[in-house]
Amino acid sequence: MPKRFLLTRRFPAAMTEDGYRRLRKFAASADLSEGEALSFIFENFDSVTNKENLNARLKLFTAARAKPE
């Protein structure tokens, strides 16, 4: 792996099952490890997201999270 792509940071992260399933699917389709896939998404965040869609989805996600089960 080229030096630029060495994964040097690790952090504890919790994900929903749906989010993790989607990450694994994306990583497999791009022939990346899950860590590489996350790095790609965050390094290219502005170009892989649509700001208007992101804001709408974020509102839906936080609204669903706030509801007591």
pLDDT tens for 10-27 read 888 899 999 999 999 999
In a domain, 56, yes or no: yes
Dump pLDDT digits (tens) for 16-60.
999 999 999 999 999 999 999 999 999 999 999 999 999 999 999
The pLDDT value recorded for residue 2 is: 54
In a domain, 21, yes or no: no
Domain span holding position 48:
34-69
In a domain, 49, yes or no: yes
| Sign, CA torsion 24/30/35/40 | negative
Rounded distance between C-alpha atoms, residue 52 and residue 22, angstroms: 21
In a domain, 14, yes or no: no
Domain count, the chain: 1
The pLDDT value recorded for residue 1 is: 47
Rounded distance between C-alpha atoms, residue 65 and residue 11, angstroms: 22
Q: Single out the residue of 1, 3, 6 nearest to residue 39, CA to CA.
A: 6
In a domain, 58, yes or no: yes
In a domain, 16, yes or no: no
